[in-house]
């Protein structure tokens, strides 16, 4: 295999070691983290690192003959692009469904049989899907010239797993134009699903507050299964606890959807089934910490008129199914 690849794990790097991809020993190096005595438990808090890979010497600059973009969100996978044969298309869809069996699939891939192009390299596609399996949000573009991927993970432990995957499982013959997987900005997220499950992820101040949040959700949603993957960190913005309280309140007025907190905003992407719920949702967003914005995308099944929007960057859609499989 020609060319070299450099993979960098950024976290106070001090040591250079050789590394292998599969059975091929490359002349690149892996820059490893400083050795310290922190435990897995402490590493499973706010991540500070990122994995960056580039293979500039092995990237073709030829014309793009096929291209597939795979985007991963917490609740769905989105596919776009063009492919030359029905067989390659079926392979792509089968691999995506096998890697993400429980996620909604938005498929906008076009089959263009009139264009003579080489077959899609399955090894590169499989590798991209494996990496996306570790990230919370991310996207990969795989075409006849190579792979580009970007995403973010929840914890440093997961970031280590991504790094190991890059070192051990990248297939030969796949050019990596760029691959960057990093820690997300500080965030806390709660997702209410139609399947009577509630998923929590992100950062919360301490164990006491974490238990309080769980108790409130159990009281408000006694029939729901709660999956809590949140982590602890003592260094958080002043508005954090109040914003999480607001997210829980908003959850009470929706049928399903996502609400999250970042350093600068509360982000709302939800479905409210009727005008009464929508009015309660609007009212819940009026009393929020003054230091942050509210960004919202709200859908409803009723025609509504004369309603105020939420925050300064809001949209309201009536009679539009949420998380439409054909939406961008």
What is the DSSP secondary-structure string of 101-127? TTSEEEEEEEE-TTS--PPP-HHHHHH
Query: Can you name the residues that pair with 73 across neighbouring β-strands?
Result: none
Same domain for 193 and 142: no
Same domain for 25 and 106: yes
Same domain for 191 and 163: no
State the residue range of the domain holding 219. Answer: 187-318
Q: DSSP state, 98? A: H
Same domain for 221 and 153: no
User: Which tokens hold the place of 80?
Assistant: 């776009």
Q: Quick check: helix, strand or coil at residue 116? A: coil
Q: Quick check: helix, strand or coil at residue 226? A: strand
Task: Domain count for the chain, please give it.
Answer: 2
Q: Quick check: helix, strand or coil at residue 88? A: helix
In terms of residues, how long is the chain?
328
Same domain for 191 and 169: no
Please check whether residue 324 lies inside any domain of the structure: no
CATH code at position 285: 3.40.1520.20
Q: By the 8 A CB rule, do 120 and 83 touch?
A: yes
What Rg do the C-alpha atoms of the chain give, in angstroms? 22
Same domain for 241 and 216: yes
Q: Look up the pTM and report it.
A: 0.53
The tens-digit pLDDT sequence of the chain (328 residues) is 333 333 333 333 322 222 233 322 222 333 333 333 333 443 343 334 577 776 665 556 767 778 899 999 878 899 999 888 888 899 999 999 999 998 999 999 998 876 555 566 788 899 999 999 999 889 999 988 889 999 988 766 788 888 889 888 888 778 888 898 987 678 899 999 988 999 998 889 999 999 999 999 999 999 999 999 888 887 888 889 999 999 999 999 999 999 988 888 888 889 988 888 888 888 887 777 667 888 888 888 765 433 444 443 344 443 333 333 333 4
Pick the last residue of a domain from 151, 182, 213.
Answer: 182
Q: By the 8 A CB rule, do 17 and 29 touch?
A: yes
Give me the helices (H) in the chain, please. Answer: 40-43, 86-99, 122-134, 156-169, 207-220, 240-251, 275-284
Same domain for 52 and 175: yes
d(CA 152, CA 74): 11
Query: What is the pLDDT at residue 75?
Result: 80
Please check whether residue 325 lies inside any domain of the structure: no
Pick the last residue of a domain from 167, 182, 197.
Answer: 182
Pick the last residue of a domain from 135, 166, 182.
Answer: 182
Same domain for 122 and 25: yes
Same domain for 219 and 172: no
264: which residues sit within 8 A by CB, 6+ positions away? 292, 293
Q: In the chain, how many H helices and how many E strands?
A: 7, 17
CA atoms within 13 A on the CB side of 119: 8
Which long-range contacts does 165-169 make (Cβ < 8 Å, 24+ apart)? 165/130, 165/131, 165/134, 166/7, 166/51, 166/53, 166/131, 167/7, 167/19, 167/20, 167/21, 167/30, 168/20, 168/21, 168/22, 169/21, 169/22, 169/127, 169/130
């Amino acid at each position: 295999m020609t060319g070299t690849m450099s993979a960098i794990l950024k976290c106070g790097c001090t040591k250079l070691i050789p590394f292998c991809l599969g059975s091929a020993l490359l002349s690149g190096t892996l820059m490893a983290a400083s050795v310290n005595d922190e435990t897995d438990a402490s590493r499973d808090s706010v991540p500070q690192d990122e994995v960056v890979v580039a293979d500039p010497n092995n990237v073709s600059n030829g014309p793009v003959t096929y291209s597939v973009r795979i985007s991963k969100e917490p609740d769905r996978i989105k596919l776009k692009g063009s492919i030359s044969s029905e067989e390659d298309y079926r392979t792509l869809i089968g691999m995506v469904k096998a890697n993400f069996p429980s996620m909604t699939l938005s498929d906008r891939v076009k089959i263009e049989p009139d264009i003579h192009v080489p077959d899609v390299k399955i090894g590169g596609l499989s590798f991209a899907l494996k990496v996306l399996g570790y990230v919370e949000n991310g996207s990969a573009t795989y075409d006849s010239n190579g792979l580009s991927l970007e995403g973010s993970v929840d914890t440093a432990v997961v970031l280590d797993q991504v790094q190991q995957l890059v070192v051990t499982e990248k297939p030969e013959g796949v050019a990596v134009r760029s691959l960057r997987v990093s820690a997300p900005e500080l965030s806390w997220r709660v997702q209410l699903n139609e399947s009577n499950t509630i998923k929590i992820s992100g950062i919360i101040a301490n164990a006491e507050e974490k238990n309080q949040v769980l108790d409130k959700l159990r009281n408000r949603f006694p029939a729901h299964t709660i999956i809590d993957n949140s982590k602890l960190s003592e260094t958080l913005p002043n508005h954090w606890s109040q914003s999480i309280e607001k997210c829980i309140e908003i959850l009470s007025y929706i049928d399903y959807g996502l609400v999250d907190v970042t350093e600068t905003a509360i982000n709302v992407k939800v479905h409210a089934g009727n005008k009464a719920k929508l009015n309660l949702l609007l009212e819940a967003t009026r009393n929020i910490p003054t230091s942050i914005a509210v960004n919202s995308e709200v859908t409803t099944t009723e025609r509504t008129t004369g309603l105020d929007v939420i925050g300064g960057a809001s949209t309201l859609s009536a009679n539009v199914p949420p998380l439409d499989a054909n939406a961008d």
